[in-house]
């Protein structure tokens, strides 16, 4: 299924919004670790571009999405510079709480765009949905690994990748029903984002592995 100009514009808009949301999450983690300017830019860049880059590698998609939109790199550098000049430690806690909401939106945006791009290449539904999950989750995983943390997507027990997975299937279902591409994307975004917001509001948690011995 080829991308129409309207669909291409929608996908670009989704990825731009998600990139900004995840770049901010990388900035916060780098600030907490008191990294130098190079470290701040690297961590923010991994959070913003890591998931989409892995998706493009797996789908053999060229150029990478951040190469195709090189202006996003300048925007990332400007955001990092501004944060280092104006953000102070007293801003971390309220900013982190506030970031839960744009992060949830970024999750929905990236999961929908990743799924749609894979579907446009003719990939099977399960592969397309998993590409959406990779796009939405892997940037945060790389961010946390570089900062020497167990990835938050794996340890906070509130559904994250599961929300992206559900959103991808809603998009697939919408296309199977013959809905317009824009409507399918919107439903996928709303599903993944809505589920993530619901888990934050209710503090719903997935059960943790219990082997009968205390965690190490």
Question: Is residue 215 in some structural domain?
Answer: no
- pLDDT tier at 211 (50, 70, 90 boundaries)? low
Question: Is residue 89 in some structural domain?
Answer: no
Question: Is residue 168 in some structural domain?
Answer: yes
Provide the number of structural domains found in the chain: 1
DSSP code for 213: S
Average of per-residue pLDDT across 36-61: 91
Looking at per-residue confidence, does 143 or 212 come out higher? 143
Range of the domain at 38: 5-83+95-202
Residue 117's nearest CA partner among 10, 11, 5, 4 is 11
Q: Is the confidence at residue 34, as pLDDT, over 60?
A: yes
At 183, list the tokens.
Answer: 């409507």
CA–CA separation, 211 and 205 (whole Å): 18
Question: Is residue 68 in some structural domain?
Answer: yes
Q: Is the confidence at residue 2, as pLDDT, over 80?
A: no
Question: Is residue 88 in some structural domain?
Answer: no
Question: Is residue 137 in some structural domain?
Answer: yes
Report pLDDT for 7.
66
Question: Is residue 149 in some structural domain?
Answer: yes
Report pLDDT for 1.
47
Q: What is the mean pLDDT of the chain?
A: 84
Q: Is the confidence at residue 3, as pLDDT, over 60?
A: no
CA 182 to chain centre: 19
Highest-scoring range by mean pLDDT, 30-39, 87-96, 204-213: 30-39
Average of per-residue pLDDT across 190-208: 88
Residue-by-residue DSSP string for 166-195: HHHHHHHHHHHTT--HHHHHHHHHHHHHHH
pTM: predicted TM-score of the whole model, two decimal places? 0.82
Residue-by-residue DSSP string for 104-157: HHHHHHHHHHHHHHHHHTT--HHHHHHHHHHHHHHHHHHHHHHTTS--HHHHS-
Residue 55's nearest CA partner among 129, 5, 1 is 129
Radius of gyration (C-alpha) of the chain in whole angstroms: 17
**Predicted confidence (pLDDT) per residue in 118-134, tens digit:** 998 999 999 999 999 99
Residue-by-residue DSSP string for 75-104: HHHHHHHHHHHH--GGGHHHHHHHHHHHHH
Q: Is the confidence at residue 62, as pLDDT, over 60?
A: yes
């Amino acid at each position: 299924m080829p991308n129409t100009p309207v669909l291409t514009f929608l996908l670009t808009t989704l990825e731009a919004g998600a990139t900004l949301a995840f770049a901010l999450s990388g900035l916060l983690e780098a600030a907490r670790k008191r990294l130098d300017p190079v470290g701040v830019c690297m961590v923010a860049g991994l959070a913003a571009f890591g998931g989409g880059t892995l998706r493009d590698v797996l789908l053999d998609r060229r150029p990478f999405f951040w190469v195709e939109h090189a202006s996003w790199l300048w925007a990332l550098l400007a955001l990092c510079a501004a944060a280092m000049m104006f953000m102070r430690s007293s801003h971390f806690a309220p900013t982190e709480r506030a970031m839960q909401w744009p992060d949830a939106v970024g999750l929905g945006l990236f999961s929908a765009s990743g799924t749609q791009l894979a579907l446009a290449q003719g990939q099977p539904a399960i592969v397309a949905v998993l590409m959406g999950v990779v796009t939405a989750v892997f940037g945060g995983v790389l961010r946390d690994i570089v900062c020497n943390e167990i990835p938050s997507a794996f340890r906070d027990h509130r559904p994250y990748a599961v929300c992206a997975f559900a959103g991808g299937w809603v998009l697939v279902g919408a296309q199977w029903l013959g809905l317009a591409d824009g409507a399918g994307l919107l439903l996928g975004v709303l599903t993944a984002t809505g589920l993530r917001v619901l888990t934050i509001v209710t503090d719903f948690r997935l059960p943790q592995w219990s082997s009968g011995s205390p965690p190490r």
